[in-house]
């Protein structure tokens, strides 16, 4: 982990709580361990994710929703970081986020981050938080889409081709004020994969900030190979932006 400069942290708001739902099994990634506990260059994806979240100077707390039955191991793996609290995750991401949020009753800005985006640089956390401080209802990192995207029906027939310049691939962390996230979760009756989408359903406006290719989502075995390549060629993403 990159050492955190306490003076830098104290000089900023320190108003950010990061929630990391990490209870997923990651069936597409293979193996017997939960996805967040898979190793990348000798450290778990969760450890990499916490490294980078903790290196963001505005972050004052990190709450991890761990895979059920793995809580103590996760606590031991993250014992170096005094910002971390570990709770038991739930059956789906949305419920895990709600459980983690309940442990942060005094939180101001909340960033929800996927452990699978283990190499997200600290600067992305800061950019999302800054957008919330500037008045955005919610904020997400985004990258321009380079592939042509097609909309298809149930039979695989193309029904539309959206204009590529208006499309963005959304990453995490996704941020908003804690009270707004709590209201969004309370108002949602179906399972969502995207916290910003819950804010949209309440009528909130979601601002995008520039994302990072280091914030790739690790889903398949090939993604692990690419993440290893990024670490080997780009270096420690703690330094990145």
Q: Which of 38, 40, 42 is nearest to 229 (CA)?
A: 40
Is 95 or 29 the better-scoring residue by pLDDT? 95
pLDDT at 235 over 80: no
Q: What share of the chain is helix, strand, coil (3-state, %, to 5)?
A: 35, 20, 40
Given a contact cutoff of 8 angstroms between Cβ atoms, the answer to whether 35 and 25 are in contact is yes
Domains of the chain: 6-233 (3.90.550.10)
What pTM was computed for the model?
0.89
pLDDT digits (tens, 9 = 90+) for 215-226: 999 999 999 999
pLDDT at position 1? 42
Residues 5-12: what's their mean pLDDT?
46
**Exposure letters 179-196 (e unless 16+ CB within 10 A, then b):** ebbbbbbeebeeebebbb
Q: Which of 31-35, 147-151, 162-166, 234-238 is least confident?
A: 234-238
pLDDT at 117 over 70: yes
Q: Which of 64, 98, 67 is nearest to 81 (CA)?
A: 64
pLDDT digits (tens, 9 = 90+) for 187-234: 866 766 689 999 999 999 999 999 999 999 999 999 999 999 999 988
Residues 9-36: what's their mean pLDDT?
77
pLDDT level of residue 236 (50, 70, 90 thresholds): low
Given a contact cutoff of 8 angstroms between Cβ atoms, the answer to whether 204 and 135 are in contact is no
Q: What are phi and psi of 46, to 5 degrees?
A: -65, -40
pLDDT at position 137? 97
pLDDT level of residue 30 (50, 70, 90 thresholds): low
5, exposed or middle or buried, with CB in 10 Å at 0-12, 13-18, 19+?
A: exposed
E-assigned strand segments in 154-233: 158-160, 168-170, 174-177, 206-210
pLDDT digits (tens, 9 = 90+) for 141-164: 999 999 999 999 999 999 999 999
Q: What is the mean pLDDT of the chain?
A: 90
pLDDT level of residue 71 (50, 70, 90 thresholds): very high
């Amino acid at each position: 982990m990159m050492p955190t400069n306490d003076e830098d942290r104290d000089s900023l708001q320190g108003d950010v709580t990061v929630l990391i739902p990490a209870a997923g099994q990651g069936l597409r990634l293979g193996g017997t361990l939960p996805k967040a506990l898979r190793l990348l260059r000798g450290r778990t994806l969760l450890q990499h994710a916490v490294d980078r979240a903790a290196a963001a100077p505005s972050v004052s707390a990190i709450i991890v929703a761990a895979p059920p039955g793995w809580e103590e191991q996760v606590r031991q793996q993250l014992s170096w970081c005094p910002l971390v609290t570990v709770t038991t995750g739930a059956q789906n991401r949305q419920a895990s986020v709600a459980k983690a949020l309940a442990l942060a009753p005094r939180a101001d800005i909340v960033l929800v981050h996927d452990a699978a985006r283990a190499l997200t640089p600290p600067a992305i956390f800061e950019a999302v938080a800054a957008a919330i401080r500037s008045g955005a209802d919610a904020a997400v990192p985004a990258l321009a889409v380079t592939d042509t995207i097609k909309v298809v029906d149930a039979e695989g027939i193309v029904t539309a081709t959206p204009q590529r310049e208006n499309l963005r691939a959304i990453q995490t962390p996704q941020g908003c004020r804690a009270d707004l996230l709590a209201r969004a979760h309370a108002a949602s009756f179906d399972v969502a994969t995207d916290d910003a989408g819950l804010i949209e359903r309440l009528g909130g406006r979601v601002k995008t900030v520039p994302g990072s290719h280091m914030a790739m989502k690790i889903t398949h075995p090939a993604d692990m190979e690419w993440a290893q390549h990024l670490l080997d060629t780009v270096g420690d993403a703690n330094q990145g932006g």
